[in-house]
Structure 1
C-alpha cells in the first residue's frame, strides 16, 4: 500500500472559514491534520485540533451521516483517508481475514494504527 494511492488517500487544502463537513453529510473518511487548525463542533461542544491530530474517526468506524461541523480556522493541509478504499486494500492484503481497523479506531482518542 502506498501513501500516494488515490483510492486510499487524498490531500485536502482548506482556507480560513472553509467548511469541510456539516452535520448530515454522508462520509466514511478519517482526516489527519498535517498543518493548520480546524474547529470541530458537535452537539454544541466545540474543540480545536491541529497538526498531528485527527477527526472523523466515528464516521470512519461507522459510516453514515456525520454529526460534526468542521471549519478551517487558517490555511490547513489534511490527509483524507477513505474508509472503504482502505478496508478493501486491507482485506485484499490480509487474504480475507476479518478487518478490525474500524473497531480499533473507534476505541481511542489518538490514531495509533494506519498501516
Structure 2
C-alpha cells in the first residue's frame, strides 16, 4: 500500500513560441521548486522507493513528449499523464499565442506505518 506524502502544483508558460513542451517543463519545475522531502535523509530512505505521479494540462496534449519530461525529474520513479487543460491566450495585435500549462506533482511512498517514530 502506498501513501501520498506530497502534492504540489505549478504553472509554466511560453509567451511567444507556442511551445507546449517548454510550458509543461516549466510548470513541473515550478511545482518541484515548491517542495522538499527531508524524509529521505531523516530516515535513510532510498528515493527510488518513491513513485512520482505528474499530471500536466495543456490545450494540445498530443504535442507533449512525456519521456523528455520524465528525464527532467530529479528523484523517484516518474509516471506522467497529459490531459487537456491549460490556456492559449491569443494576442490579436501580434498574432502570437501565449501558452500556459499547469502541473501537479504527487509523491507516493510505501506505507511507513510502524517503521519509524518521532522522538
Greater Cα radius of gyration, structure 1 or 2: 2
**TM-score, normalised relative to structure 2:** 0.31
**TM-score, normalised relative to structure 1:** 0.32
Q: Which has the higher contact order (CA 8 A, sep 6+)?
A: 2
